[in-house]
Structure 1
Amino acid sequence: MSISIERLRSLLDRLSPDHHLLPAVEQAYGIKKSGMNGEASLDYHLHFIDGDFQVLNGIRLQGDLYIFQMDVVLVTRSRIFLIEVKNYAGELIYDGDNHQMLQIVDGQQKAYADPILQAKRQTVQLRKWISQQTLPSIPISSLVVFTNSYASLDSPHPDVIKSSYLPFKINAMKPLPDVWTEEEMDRFVRRCRSFHQPENGDVLKRFGIREDELIRGVLCLNCPRVCMDKAHGGWRCPKCGGFSKRKALERAMHDYLMLMGDKVSNQQLCDFLRINDRQVANRILKSLGYKKVGSTSNSYYLIPTD
Structure 2
Amino acid sequence: MFAEYRTKPYVILCYEALFRCLLERYRTNEILIADYNRYYAGFRGEKDVDYKLALYPHNDFLIHPDIRLKNFNHYFQIDTLILTKKFFCILEIKNISGELEYDPVLRQLIQKKGEVENGYKDPILQAEAQKVNLVTWLQKFNINIPVETISVISNPSTIIRIKEGDTEIYNKLIHAESLHEHLDKLSLKYTKDVLTKSTINKISNTILNENTPYLPNLFKTYNISEHHLIKGIQCPNCQHYPINRLYKKWFCPKCSTINHKAHERVILDYFLLYKNTITNKKCRQLLQITSGRTAYVILNSMKLSQTGKNSAREYHAPLLKNFPQNSDFLSRNRSILDFNNKNKSEIEDKFYLN
TM-score, normalization by structure 2: 0.73
Q: Does the CA contact (< 8 Å) of 2:92 and 2:127 recur in 1?
A: yes
Post-superposition shift, 1:18? 4.9
Post-superposition shift, 1:61? 1.3
Provide closer, same or farther for how the CA distance between residues 299 and 184 of structure 1 changes in structure 2, counting only shifts above 3 A.
Answer: closer
Provide closer, same or farther for how the CA distance between residues 292 and 145 of structure 1 changes in structure 2, counting only shifts above 3 A.
Answer: closer
Residue in structure 1 matched with residue 343 of structure 2 by the alignment? none
Q: Does 1:101 align with 2:104?
A: no
Question: Which whole-Å deviations, capped at 9, do the CAs of 1:228-247 have from their partners, x for residues lacking one?
Answer: 43264423274xx2613224
Q: Does 1:302 align with 2:315?
A: yes
Which of the residues 164, 168, 184 maps onto 2:181? Answer: 168
Structure 2: distance between partners of 1:231 and 1:66: 45
Q: Any residues of structure 2 matched to 1:136-285 within 5 Å, and which?
A: 137-155=144-162, 157-158=169-170, 159-173=172-186, 174-176=188-190, 177-200=192-215, 202-205=217-220, 207-211=222-226, 213-223=228-238, 226-230=240-244, 232=246, 233-236=249-252, 238=254, 241=255, 243-275=257-289, 278-279=290-291, 282-285=293-296
Residue in structure 2 matched with residue 91 of structure 1 by the alignment? 99
Q: Does 1:289 align with 2:286?
A: no
Structure 1: distance between partners of 2:104 and 2:182: 20
1:289 aligned counterpart, secondary structure: helix
Please, which moves more after superposition, 141-150 or 11-20?
A: 11-20
Structure 1: distance between partners of 2:17 and 2:109: 32
Question: Which whole-Å deviations, capped at 9, do the CAs of 1:77-134 have from their partners, x for residues lacking one?
Answer: 1111110011122222222232221223354221111111111111111112212221
2:69 aligned counterpart, secondary structure: strand
Higher relative contact order (CA 8 A, sep 6+): 2
- Percent identical: 24
1:61 aligned counterpart, secondary structure: strand
1:294 is aligned with what amino acid?
K
1:85 aligned counterpart, secondary structure: strand
Q: Does 1:113 align with 2:129?
A: no
Post-superposition shift, 1:271? 2.8
Unpaired runs of 5+ in structure 1?
A: none
1:88 is aligned with what amino acid?
I
Structure 1: distance between partners of 2:242 and 2:97: 38
Q: Does 1:79 align with 2:87?
A: yes
Q: Does the CA contact (< 8 Å) of 1:74 and 1:82 recur in 2?
A: yes
Q: Does the CA contact (< 8 Å) of 2:46 and 2:79 recur in 1?
A: yes
Structure 2: distance between partners of 1:45 and 1:126: 24
Which of the residues 8, 24, 35 maps onto 1:2? Answer: 8
Question: Which whole-Å deviations, capped at 9, do the CAs of 1:147-199 have from their partners, x for residues lacking one?
Answer: 12333333463111111100012213433122112222222222222222221
Provide closer, same or farther for how the CA distance between residues 92 and 287 of structure 1 changes in structure 2, counting only shifts above 3 A.
Answer: same
Post-superposition shift, 1:35? 2.4
Residue in structure 1 matched with residue 331 of structure 2 by the alignment? none
Unpaired runs of 5+ in structure 2?
A: 1-6, 164-168, 323-354
Q: Does the CA contact (< 8 Å) of 1:12 and 1:26 recur in 2?
A: no
TM-score, normalization by structure 1: 0.83
Structure 2: distance between partners of 1:116 and 1:89: 18
2:294 is aligned with what amino acid?
R
2:8 is aligned with what amino acid?
S
Provide closer, same or farther for how the CA distance between residues 182 and 300 of structure 1 changes in structure 2, counting only shifts above 3 A.
Answer: closer
Q: How many residues align?
A: 297
Provide closer, same or farther for how the CA distance between residues 22 and 265 of structure 1 changes in structure 2, counting only shifts above 3 A.
Answer: farther
